[in-house]
Amino acid sequence: MLTQVAAGRTYDYSHSVGRGAQSGMGFSQPVAAAQGPNGVVYVVNRGSEGISNVSWNRIGYGARVSQITIGPEWGQEEFLGEFSKYGDGNGEFIWGSGVAVDSQGRVYVSDEWLNQINVYDAEGNFLNRWSALESDDGGEHGTANIAIDADDNIYVTDGRSHEVRKFASDGKFIASWGGRGSDNGQFNAPWGITIDQAGNVYVADHRNHRVQKFTADGKWLASIGSPGAGRGQLHLPTAVAVDPQGDVYVADWSDNGQHPGRVHIFDAEGDYIITLIGDAMELSSWAKLTVDANADYLKRRREVNLQNMESEWRFALPTGLMYDAANNRLLVVDSQRSRFQIYNKVSGYMVPQMNL
Amino acid sequence: MANQDIALMAHLMRRAGFGATREELEALCEKGYENVVEELLNPTEEPLDRFEMMRYQPWTWRPGTLPGMGAAEWLWWMLNTRRPLEEKMTLFWHHIFATGVSKVDHYDEIQNMITMFREKGMGNYRELLVEIARNPAMIYWLDNNENHADAVNENWGRELLELFSMGVGNYTEVDVRECSRAFTGWTFEAKLPRGPLGRHDWHFEYRPEDHDNGEKTFLGETGNFNGEDIIDIVCQHPATAGFVARHLYNFFVADEAQVPAWQVTPPVDEDAIDALTDAFIDSGYDMKETLRVLFNSDFFKNARFAKLKSPAEVVVGTLKLVGGAEFPAPGIGDLSRQPNYMGQDLLNPPSVEGWHTGAEWINSGSLMRRINFTADMVGDVSRPGVQSIVSRLRSQGDVGPEQFVDTCLDLMGPLDVSADTRQELLDHAVPGGSLTWSNEAAATERVSELLQLIVSLRDYQYA
């Protein structure tokens, strides 16, 4: 369904943006996105591992941060540029995992392997980097995602040490909470993280199949969702977003009939509203460029039956969510399809007469 | 614990899996050999969770064709599975139903085939043949999508008989033709192209309008056969059981002649082949029952180091020995390429005949690759498995060169080496005198050097 109405809300599929590309107009295993005050959307591309023709020179294909703008309708996106690349030098990353923008427009990108935060200006010029660890304790760490509150405090999840850490904007450690477990306030491989307008912290507790809500200093407030495949149940949640009304969006890897990948929507009290499964029945403008340029692609697409077309419409392992409050829309980072799927949250929607 | 018990258990785990650490071997010996065989045949540990791999290496979900690292996820399975025989049988079937990305050009489709082997590889052979006949990667690999009622393509039909079941000499060219006619209409649905949004699955499709419904005569039987009827007749043919038995012997017991020579070269151990053939037939083509007979037999237990390790066994076995490669870290793609550098490009066998095994694994280049890789691994004293070996040696206190050499050989297998080989190791160790731990760094360095020498031995290349 392109339009879904439930609990007084209407989610209306708008369009998709993106295609597979190792540079330029497209993405390569995009895992996270954030929007700056300048309206630019920064997309972290994890890329794929590669071996060059000499075995000692490991490389990563497509790893970078893309800068784009996304218009309100199909075909209005623009590619502005890209920065960073695979590596361990200043401004480079091995496993890009998250991105957030502070009040000054600085862009913070987390590296899940090096456990560092690279900081760039709005244009992507490298400013500095700092460790995302409390201390180098020699343990296993994986800085999985990043969020920034209104005071420019920085929160990161660590999927391997099962905790949340809080830093000042200059990287000074402030606090941490969590620890491995399934009790309230504990985590099992936490991943996505976001902050609501009141400053509360939401964490996608990946292997506990729930989202947990905390105050800014880590006091547990609530748990959203439960393990399973039913209504309002989660399986391997990856990302979380909250809109200005307090509705909570959770991407997970539950089955959508084609692939792992759904987005579940809850209200501010954690009550389930509805689920999205992906609706990209129309190619994005960039994807269409590729298809139009390849006669065999065009011919083959016309030979494919409905069931096999559906494989393209649905989410495939989404790992990022971004709520664009200025435009009242949800952007789902549809990672394996190298694109965003965009849903408008429509107000004042009038349901047409049912006996049409 | 008797050293013979450890040696036998190590033999079982090298063949029915990819090796085990000394700590694991000691725990397994406590259970007893036959009980361990049963655990291998009926694993109760959960399969690995593919989402763990997707979490860190998302590109492995539908890897692109280039630069040829589609086996990264499989390497991770081989390293981490707690169901080792299941994974070894997966490799076994990949050797036989060899299908390659060089033609299919979709790693994900061959990955799907690997998953099918993992799920059904220890089940019924007839069912496996039906699955492989319906597998889209195989259909494309052997052109059955070009096998039409009015234009027969014999590629799949021929290989089904020649390489997947009976072997050359047990059928005629007419049988090939009739077999192929029975599989007309077995194809797959069109799928979306790989660009611009990534890859999609093929799905099997049977097109009755493209199937030859005429009467066929196959191996002396006549009827309006379809593909499954052919598979039934193939399974009932005595040559099939012997063919599968000889493959099992070659893969799990001892190096045999290569498949093209089977028609003219008798088996190494005819009694063993007969025993496996009987088990296969008596069980109704059940792989698990046949494997039970194999692993509990004397011919298996007496076949220690009678088989050259395949490159996959070298790489995975060494990584399991040294440890530290369990997490799907950056570089797993490079690790997954190592068997290729030694002559076994997983998911991309050289032809439908699969890889030639035994001595044919070895040439000057591949041997150098084996030695370089394994020496690099055991020379890394930061790896937990190497540390464990060092720790066990340290627990013995200061020892003379002979005990130093013998203990290292024991902890690396136990490895059986010839007297000449042992003397060569002693020639290296004796000038250094006793292994003493007053200078721990120097002692560790000596251990590291000796381990690197041991993996460079001819003897380490045998399983």
Q: pLDDT of B350-402, one tens digit each?
A: 999 999 999 999 999 999 999 999 999 999 999 999 999 999 999 999 999 99
End-to-end distance of chain A based on CA atoms, in angstroms? 17
Query: Residue B226: which of B174, B184, B164 has the closest Cα?
Result: B184
Residues of A in contact with B193 (CB under 8 A): 294, 296-297, 300-301
Mean pLDDT for the stretch of residues B195-208: 97
The partner residue sitting opposite A336, judged by closest CB among B62, B191, B195, is B62
Burial class (CB within 10 angstroms; exposed 0-12, middle 13-18, buried 19+) of B328: buried
Give the pLDDT score at B334.
87
The tally of CA atoms less than 13 A away on the side-chain side of residue A25 is 15
The tally of CA atoms less than 13 A away on the side-chain side of residue B223 is 10
Give the pLDDT score at B68.
61
Query: Residue B159: which of B185, B136, B139, B131 has the closest Cα?
Result: B139
> Which residues fall within 8 angstroms of residue B280, CB to CB, at 6 or more apart?
B125, B241, B244, B245, B286, B289, B290
Neighbours of A54 (CB within 10 A): 7
Tokens 């036998």 belong to which residue? B8
Measure Cα distances from B143 to B2, B100, B180 in Å. Answer: 54, 13, 11
Q: Please give the Cα distance from A231 to A271 (Å, whole number).
A: 10
Q: Is A281 on the interface with B (CB under 8 A)?
A: no
Residues of B in contact with A48 (CB under 8 A): 59, 63-64
- Per-residue pLDDT tens digits of chain A, which is 356 residues long: 899 999 999 999 999 999 999 999 999 999 999 999 999 999 999 999 887 655 555 678 899 999 999 999 999 999 999 999 999 999 999 999 999 999 999 999 999 999 999 999 999 999 999 999 998 778 999 999 999 999 999 999 999 999 999 999 999 999 999 999 999 999 999 999 999 999 999 999 999 999 999 999 999 999 999 999 999 999 999 999 999 999 999 999 999 999 999 999 999 999 999 999 999 999 999 999 999 999 999 999 999 999 999 999 999 999 999 999 999 999 999 999 999 999 999 999 999 999 99
Q: Do B197 and A206 touch (CB under 8 A)?
A: no
Measure Cα distances from B164 to B123, B130, B239, B247, B284 in Å. Answer: 16, 12, 11, 10, 17
Burial class (CB within 10 angstroms; exposed 0-12, middle 13-18, buried 19+) of A59: middle
Q: Is A124 on the interface with B (CB under 8 A)?
A: no
Q: Is A295 on the interface with B (CB under 8 A)?
A: no
**β pairing state of A116-120 and B204-206:** unpaired
Task: Return the axis-axis angle of helices B311-322 and B332-341, rounded to nearest 10°.
Answer: 140
- Give residue A115's identity as a one-letter amino acid code: N
- Give residue B237's identity as a one-letter amino acid code: H
The partner residue sitting opposite B331, judged by closest CB among A58, A112, A305, is A58
Q: Is A43 on the interface with B (CB under 8 A)?
A: no
Q: What is the ipTM of this complex?
A: 0.95
Tokens 């399974």 belong to which residue? B235
For B113, phi and psi rounded to 5 degrees? -65, -40
Residue B376 · residue B370 · CB < 8 Å: no
Q: pLDDT of A220-268, one tens digit each?
A: 999 999 999 999 999 999 999 999 999 999 999 999 999 999 999 999 9
Give the pLDDT score at B292.
98
The partner residue sitting opposite B190, judged by closest CB among A95, A303, A339, is A303
Residue B463 · residue B309 · CB < 8 Å: yes
Residues of A in contact with B56 (CB under 8 A): 95, 112, 142
Test the B interface: residue of A49, A209, A306 with most B CBs within 10 Å: A49
Residue B261, pLDDT > 90, answer yes
Give the pLDDT score at B409.
96
Query: Which residues, numbered 208 to 237 in chain A, qualify as contacts with chain B under a Cβ-Cβ cut-off of 8 Å?
Result: 236
Residue B84, pLDDT > 70, answer yes
Q: Please give the Cα distance from A338 to A24 (Å, whole number).
A: 12
CA distance A283 to chain B (A): 9
Residue A122 · residue A102 · CB < 8 Å: no
Query: Residue B300: which of B13, B108, B2, B1 has the closest Cα?
Result: B13
Give the pLDDT score at A255.
97
Give the pLDDT score at A57.
58
Q: How far is CA B86 from the centre of its chain?
A: 10
Q: Is A260 on the interface with B (CB under 8 A)?
A: yes
Greatest Cα pair distance in chain A: 67
Concatenated DSSP letters for B263-290? TTS--S-HHHHHHHHHHHHHTTSBHHHH
Give the pLDDT score at A60.
86
Q: Do B192 and A20 touch (CB under 8 A)?
A: no
Q: Please give the Cα distance from B376 to B385 (Å, whole number).
A: 13
> Which residues fall within 8 angstroms of residue B310, CB to CB, at 6 or more apart?
B91, B339, B344, B355, B357, B361
Concatenated DSSP letters for A204-224? EEGGGTEEEEE-TT--EEEEE
Neighbours of A135 (CB within 10 A): 8
Q: pLDDT of B427-436, one tens digit each?
A: 999 999 999 9
Residues of A in contact with B195 (CB under 8 A): 19-20, 290-291, 294, 297
Residues of B in contact with A337 (CB under 8 A): 197-198
Higher pLDDT, A233 or B63: A233
Q: Do A296 and B200 touch (CB under 8 A)?
A: no
Q: Please give the Cα distance from A337 to A315 (Å, whole number).
A: 8
CA distance A38 to chain B (A): 28
CA distance A42 to chain B (A): 19
Q: Do B197 and A95 touch (CB under 8 A)?
A: no
Give the pLDDT score at B2.
58
Give the pLDDT score at A54.
57
Q: Please give the Cα distance from B366 to B343 (Å, whole number).
A: 6
Residues of B in contact with A49 (CB under 8 A): 57, 59, 69, 72, 330-334
Q: Do B51 and A253 touch (CB under 8 A)?
A: yes
Q: Do B61 and A94 touch (CB under 8 A)?
A: no
Six token digits for residue A87: 């590596």
Q: Please give the Cα distance from B440 to B420 (Å, whole number).
A: 30
Give the pLDDT score at B64.
79
Q: Do B197 and A338 touch (CB under 8 A)?
A: yes
Q: Is B191 on the interface with A (CB under 8 A)?
A: yes
